Chain A
Amino acid sequence: MAIKTYREALNETLRTEMRRDPDVFIIGQDVGKFEGAYRVTQGLLEDFGARRVKDAPISETAIVGAGIGAAMLGLRPVVEFMTINFTLVAIDQIVNHAAKIRYMFGGQVSVPMVIRTPGGGGQQLTAQHSQNFEHWYAHVPGLKVVAPTTPADAMGLLRTAIRDNDPVFVLENLALYNTRGEVPDGDHTIPLGKADVKREGSDLTIIAHSRMVNVSLMAAEKLAEDGIEAEVVDLRSLRPLDTETIVASVQKTNRAMTVEEGWPTFGVGGEIVALLMAEAFDDLDAPVLRVGGEEVPMPYSKPLERAAIPSVDKVIKTAMRVLE
């Protein structure tokens, strides 16, 4: 075990996977000389050279398309998008191409590509740079979507994603890059599609992903001061979704709520609620409630931004309603 930041865990995983497999390469804007907009690819150009760490022009469509084409010929590209917001200009490549190629062509070829990108707000980056679209991709058969919260999960999920034979969208988070945590030694991998119970509890299940897991854990600690034991389920993977772990937790606690950083309308929480209606209806003692970002474009001003993002207080308030 070692203590690493989320950023260091990602960087080390990229480095070790590139050492292990000569077909793994990185492509993106400013991933080389600049060492990544958020320094996740720091030192990799120096270690592996320009053949394997490819700086690309501001051409998201061509960058991810090139990743798909290279993957179709058996390489394992790791495509970095500077932020999830910029994936929208290339969504056709991700949804209409990467996700379709294996199925549409009768299984003749796969697309073993990773897309990594940070989402989330809280940095005063305003309306165009503070969004959450991971569930848009999780909507699409043919894609896989993971969203690690801890450095250990970042390492294990990114490593598995690189080794996976299909396109995997790895959601990072701006506010998590500097967070620290224990990271296992050696070849740490985590299967895709496995949630993780980050805190055990008996009174209520809080289901979250990415940075909202940490917010939920903080809320759970406060609830514990009042004798309420919340269980926090970290989804880790949105597609495939670990329905078993979610349902098992709710069968134990009989109460549930969801927390996501993005707008709740048509979001992750709605999906979880539908799952619980179908699979755990008789186990529920109260309606399942959702917490999400306020339904506004993200404002710049700090107090407004703070008000727009789910907080520990909001999680606690909603938990109290679920517990009524």
Chain B
Amino acid sequence: MAIQTENKEQLLELYRKMLLIRLFEERAAQLYTQAHIGGYCHLNIGEEAAVVGTLTALRDTDYVYTYYREHGHALTLGSDPAAVMAELCGKVTGVSKGRGGSMHLFDLDNRLYGGYGIVGGHLPLAVGAALAIQYREQDDVVMCLFGEGATNIGGFHEALNLSKVYHLPVVYICINNQYAMGSRPDEDSAVPEAWMKACAYNMEAERVDGMEMFTVREAAKRAVNKVRDTRDPYFLEVETYRFRGHSMADAGAYRSRDEVQEWQRRDPIALYAARLEEEGVFDSELREEIDSSVEQEIERAVKFALESPSPDVENLYDNVYTPQDWE
């Protein structure tokens, strides 16, 4: 079984990352209602296994292009939670210097090549990054994450086709959280199974249970290895559920309380923790120790974010353009 191939430290680290996302997002929600965070704020609560399971399958030199529900993506890749929280609060100490906010996290050091806010718009960019890898004859891969709603926009189809035609190392990860704002796949797509759309581009594809950490992680590792070896794109659909609304401004009228509770019974963190306990990796003492260290890390992040300065208005025009060699 998969769990036996992982060492204990790694297993605990995966737990820590999932919990970090959950607690980070819960605090972000609070800070949003307290108006420390503005604009849109999309949370990863419920998607922790999908996020951690996929992104931890990469190595450090691989690239990630993702969408606007990406706080957890940055945290998983190793971004400092304090710098992520500071970005949400619009502070100059944020990962994008307060210019991007919740939807536009970017962290060069951790190869997070951006959270993008136009649904499906970043898929062509991921293809281009993979093209650069191929051009330079490197063996990195690009992981491109998006929601199932993105599979209905033109750029999705153009990107899949182009990456297959060029044989580019893109790992497409469709995080299917069942709702594109208020629309279910069976309502807004003639082919509700997102993975099947990849088959139309002659691409290998599969779907996995996104609430089970190991299932996701094993599938993602297979996908990443396959792309690295074959230099051809691969499509993995991860079925999960967002426990919260589309954004903070979502009353959730489009789904029933029963449905939400049904999914919450398979809370990915609870499932994973139970598994670790079963396997004897973790006892209540060790778990409390990790929980408390994550709580402290989040409090440190919040404190840092709230105490950090806003960007100086004098620097409003910074980075509209790049300094030029020809000037």
B-contacting residues of A (Cβ < 8 Å)? 25, 51, 54, 56-57, 59, 61-75, 77, 92-93, 96-97, 101-110, 112, 141-142, 144, 160, 163-166, 189, 191
* Residues B100 and A62 in contact, CB atoms below 8 Å apart: no
A178-B122 Cα distance, complex, nearest whole Å:
38
Given contacts A102-B320, A107-B318, contact A97 B128 (CB under 8 A): no
Q: Are A66 and B116 in contact (CB under 8 A)?
A: no
The answer to whether B108 and A68 have CB atoms under 8 Å apart is no
Partner of B326, one of A73, A107, A109, A160: A160
* Cβ-closest chain B residue relative to A110: B322
B129 CB-CB contact with A under 8 Å: yes
Cα–Cα distance between A102 and B121 once the two chains are bound (Å): 16
Which residues of B have CB within 8 Å of A108? Answer: 96, 106-108
B131 touches A97 (CB 8 A): no
Tell me if B126 counts as interface (CB < 8 A to partner A): yes
- Chain A residue nearest to B124 (CB atoms) is A65
Judge whether A106 and B132 touch: CB under 8 Å. no
- Asked if B256 is at the interface of the complex by the 8 Å CB criterion, the answer is no
* Residues on the A chain within 8 Å of B132, using CB: 69-70, 72-75
Given contacts A165-B323, A166-B321, contact A106 B127 (CB under 8 A): no
Q: Find out whether the CB atom of A65 lies under 8 angstroms from the CB atom of B118.
A: no
Per-residue CB contact flags for chain B residues 248-275 toward chain A (1 = under 8 Å, else 0) read: 0000000000000000000000000000
What is the size, in residues, of chain B's interface with A at 8 Å between Cβ atoms? 49
Alpha-carbon distance between A110 and B325 when the two chains are bound, in angstroms: 13
**In the complex, what distance in Å separates the CA atom of A56 from the CA atom of B65?**
22
- A62 near B161 with CB under 8 A, answer yes
Report if B172 contacts A (CB, 8 A). no
**B162 interface residue (CB < 8 Å to A):** yes
A interface footprint on B136-163 (CB within 8 Å = 1, 0 otherwise): 0000000000000000001100110110
Give B172 Cβ to nearest chain A Cβ, in Å. 13
Q: Is B123 positioned at the interface, with any CB of A under 8 Å from its CB?
A: yes
- From known contacts A51-B135, A165-B324, infer whether A65 and B127 are also in contact, taking CB-CB under 8 Å: yes
Cross-interface CB contact of B325 among A54, A67, A165, cutoff 8 Å: A165
Partner of A67, one of B113, B118, B128, B318: B128
Cβ contact within 8 Å between A62 and B158: yes
7 contacts between A and B (CB under 8 A): A62-B155, A65-B128, A72-B128, A97-B118, A107-B97, A109-B108, A142-B321
User: Would you call B125 an interface residue if the criterion is a C-beta within 8 Å of the partner chain's C-beta atoms?
Assistant: yes
CA distance A146 to B67 in the complex (A): 32
Bound CA–CA A92/B323 (angstroms) = 25
Contact B158 A107 (CB under 8 A): no
Mark contacts of B97-113 with chain A using CB atoms, 8 A cut-off: 1 yes-contact digit, 0 otherwise. 11110001011100001
Structural contact, A164 and B326, CB atoms closer than 8 A? yes
Give the chain B neighbours of A69 by CB distance below 8 A: 65, 124-132
Contact check, A73 vs B129: say whether CB atoms are below 8 A apart.
yes
Name the residue in A56, A103, A142 with the highest tally of chain B Cβ atoms < 10 Å from its Cβ: A103
Name the prevailing secondary structure of the B interface residues: mixed
Q: Are A66 and B326 in contact (CB under 8 A)?
A: no
**What residue of chain B has the Cβ atom nearest to residue A109's Cβ?**
B108
**A66 and B162 contact, Cβ closer than 8 Å, known pairs A97-B121, A104-B100:** yes
Q: A30–B64 Cα gap in the complex (Å)?
A: 30
Name B residues whose Cβ lies closer than 8 Å to a Cβ of A.
63, 65, 94-100, 104, 106-108, 113-114, 116, 118, 121-133, 135, 154-155, 158-159, 161-162, 165-166, 318-327
**Beyond A25-B135, A69-B124, 5 additional pairs, beta carbon < 8 A:** A65-B155, A68-B128, A69-B130, A107-B322, A112-B322
In the complex with contacts A104-B99, A163-B326, A97-B116 CB distance below 8 A: yes
Closest A residue to B159 by beta carbon equals A62
Contact across chains for A72 and B129 when beta carbons are under 8 A apart: yes
With beta carbons under 8 angstroms apart, the residue of B96, B126, B161 that contacts A104 is: B96
**How distant is the Cα of A74 from the Cα of B138 in the complex, in angstroms?**
14
Residue of B104, B122, B135 near A70 (CB, 8 A) is B135
Residues of B within 8 A of A92 (CB): 118, 121, 155
Contacts of B129 in A (CB 8 A): 69-70, 72-73
A72 and B113 within 8 A (CB): yes
Of chain A, the residue at the smallest CB distance from B63 is: A73
**A141 CA to B318 CA, complexed, in Å:** 12
Q: How far, in angstroms, from A1 to B203 measured CA to CA in the complex?
A: 53
Which chain B residues border A25 with CB–CB below 8 Å?
135
Q: Is A107 touching B128 in the complex (CB atoms < 8 A)?
A: no
Residues of chain A with a CB closer than 8 A to B104's CB: 104-105
Which A residues lie within 8 Å of B125 (CB)? 65-66, 68-69, 72, 97
Specify which chain B residues have a CB less than 8 angstroms from the CB of A74 in the assembled complex: 132
Given B165, B321, B325, which contacts A57 in the complex, CB threshold below 8 Å? B165
Chain B nearest CB: distance from A64 CB in Å? 7
Name the A residues within 8 Å of B116 (CB-CB). Answer: 97
Q: Which residues of B contact A64 (CB under 8 A)?
A: 124
Given B106, B159, B165, B166, which contacts A105 in the complex, CB threshold below 8 Å? Answer: B106
Docked complex Cα distance between A75 and B155 (Å): 22
> Shortest beta-carbon distance, B193 to chain A, in Å?
23
A148–chain B nearest beta-carbon distance, Å: 16
A66 surroundings in chain B (CB, below 8 A): 124-125, 127-128, 131, 162
In the assembled complex, the Cα of A57 lies from the Cα of B123 at a distance in Å of: 16
- Please name the residue on chain B nearest to A100 by beta carbon: B104
